[in-house]
Amino acid sequence: MATDFKFGIDTLTIADVDALTEGRLQGSIDKQAMSNIHASCRYVDEIVDDRSVVYGINTGFGPLCDTLISPSETTQLQHNLLMSHSVGVGELLSSKLSKTMLILKLHALCLGYSGIRPQTVERILWMINNDICPCVPEKGSVGASGDLAPLAHLFLPLIGLGEVFYKGDKIPTDKLLKNLNVEALRLHPKEGLALINGTQFIAAHAVVGLNRLKNILDSADIIGAMSLDGLMGSIRPLDARLHAIRPFKGNQKVAQRLRNILQGSDINNAHLDCSRVQDPYSIRCMPQVHGASRTAYMHLLELTEIEINSVTDNPIILGSHDTISGGNFHGQPLAVPLDYASVAAAELGNISDRRSYLIIEGRYGLPKLLIEDAGLNSGFMIPQYSSAALVSENKGLCFPASADSIPTSLGQEDHVSMGSIGGRKFNQIISNVEFILAIELLYAAQSIDFRRPLRSSKILEACHHEIRKIVPFATEDRVYANDINALHELISSKKLVMTSQQAAETAGITLD
């Protein structure tokens, strides 16, 4: 295993986080980063020794910021902070999300502005490298003053409390530490606050969601192209000249991808001179609709990579007796684009459902409900109901979380981002879209079979071949839920996208 990533020194990318989470990449703390951590920790000790008043080091928290804490009680203050703020509720995050939060927090701490001790960052690194993932409830953060509740749960294991996922089991932390002959830490001044202030819950949902959004963007292009061929749609709206005179990057990218995916299709070549003037929008406007969603993805990616390389706790330790108590913990910079990206993801499902509806209408030479013996068989009527239900659910989920704010902390925290809710909704919408696309893929594959003996493009035929390995052509009714679940796995596992990429390489076609 390569030890390639240096926390606090290297620039962290979404790909790095993914590799660190999956164990394909292992991180280390560079000597320069450790030197910066030592210096920041020393500055905190100077503040405590000199009895300078600095928020969170020798004062209470939130509305208790004017309450002074004696030097002898500063360590107990940090211990109490983790316990009192561990108020999360609901289902536990996946171990992947929990580990992602650890990675993001470690990188922020290693930038050297948080006053945390070397022993503490080394323990977090040990947890990451040994795949020890804290149990973190999904609800309880309002996305300002840091993701306080989830981060408190995330770091309870440092002081021997809480539970963790380890080797597939959920186990009390104290039991695991005893089994591994490891002592719990006793936090020093500023450490508890450094651990729970920050946006790592929001950012982790953005990181995981971005990977999933990229997959459904690529999948939607493949599936939409297969639907276009199944419906014998025109490729004229994909012409590069059209998109050059409205040059949004996302639109141009999608138009290029669709042209390449459909390259060499005999189905398309067979109707180039037909009398149909234009296709419905869900076919004709894929570059514009998929493209707008892809532009939103690029924007969120840019902002998320800024965030995961930033310091988001409070106060910031800049030097000897040089601290700033500011608001870098506020989640608004990600909360707003997460809401925007949620709409973008939902729109992929919205237009996909419309294509599914077109395919079962019985137009353009396809049988009604995509089955030859309709009447005795309901055919593919009902899967579209599920698609419609998911689309409707997504519309409700698209209400922007960042448009709401409820004051907390006795009014000290009088505007909050609710970005934590936005991050969760973002991923929930993507989960729904994966199923919506699976239903369209079920329909698109069936429609391609009705065009035989004509063949689609090499890329789409390779994808169709993968589909038919797990879902056969339907001649009569069956339990379609099994088909939908199988195709959902094909999409969510990224196998559909990988199949298209492999076929493109074989054919000498560049998709991206």
Of 43, 329, 380, 443, which residue is the catalytic one? Answer: 329
Asked if residue 63 has pLDDT above 90, the reply is no
DSSP 8-state secondary structure symbol assigned to residue 4: E
The phi and psi torsions of 331 (rounded to 5 degrees) equal -85, 0
- What are the pLDDT digits (tens) for 268-281? 999 887 778 799 99
Q: What are the structure tokens assigned to 281, written together?
A: 């929008």
Asked if residue 303 has pLDDT above 80, the reply is yes
**Annotated catalytic residue 281:** yes
Q: Is the dihedral of CA 498, 504, 505, 511 positive or negative?
A: negative
Q: Tell me, what amino acid is at 360?
A: I
Q: What are the structure tokens assigned to 330, written together?
A: 């506020």
The residues pairing with 134 across neighbouring beta strands, listed in sequence order, are 164
Distance CA 495, CA 224 (A): 17
| Residues sharing a CB contact under 8 Å with residue 145, sequence separation 6 or more, in sequence order | 62, 197, 314, 329, 330, 408, 409, 413, 416
Whole-model pTM: value is: 0.95
Of 55, 201, 380, 443, which residue is the catalytic one? Answer: 55
Angle at 296 between CA 293 and CA 302, to 5 degrees: 145
Distance CA 328, CA 340 (A): 21
Of 58, 197, 251, 260, which residue is the catalytic one? Answer: 197
- 98-112, 264-278, 311-325, 344-358: range with lowest mean pLDDT: 264-278
Of 24, 38, 281, 399, which residue is the catalytic one? Answer: 281
Mean pLDDT of all residues belonging to the chain: 94
- What are the pLDDT digits (tens) for 390-414? 999 999 999 999 999 999 887 788 8
**Annotated catalytic residue 329:** yes
Angle at 57 between CA 52 and CA 62, to 5 degrees: 115
Q: Is 366 left (phi over 0), alpha (psi -120 to 50) or beta?
A: beta
Which domains are present in the chain?
3-198 (1.10.275.10), 205-507 (1.20.200.10)
The residues pairing with 377 across neighbouring beta strands, listed in sequence order, are 374
Distance spanning both ends of the chain, measured CA to CA: 29
Q: Tell me, what amino acid is at 349?
A: G
C-beta atoms surrounding 157 within 10 Å: 27
C-beta atoms surrounding 2 within 10 Å: 8
Of 305, 347, 413, 434, which residue is the catalytic one? Answer: 413
- 71-85, 142-156, 173-187: range with lowest mean pLDDT: 71-85
**Annotated catalytic residue 413:** yes
Q: Kindly report whether the peptide bond that precedes residue 337 is cis, defined as omega within 30 degrees of 0.
A: no
pLDDT at 374: 87
Distance CA 28, CA 18 (A): 16
Let me know if 40 is exposed, middle or buried by CB neighbors in 10 A (0-12, 13-18, 19+): buried
- What are the pLDDT digits (tens) for 201-254? 999 999 999 999 999 999 999 999 999 999 999 999 999 999 999 999 999 999
pLDDT at 1: 45
**Annotated catalytic residue 91:** no
Of 61, 85, 107, 155, which residue is the catalytic one? Answer: 85
Of 284, 361, 485, 489, which residue is the catalytic one? Answer: 284
**Annotated catalytic residue 284:** yes
**Annotated catalytic residue 480:** no
Asked if residue 7 has pLDDT above 90, the reply is yes
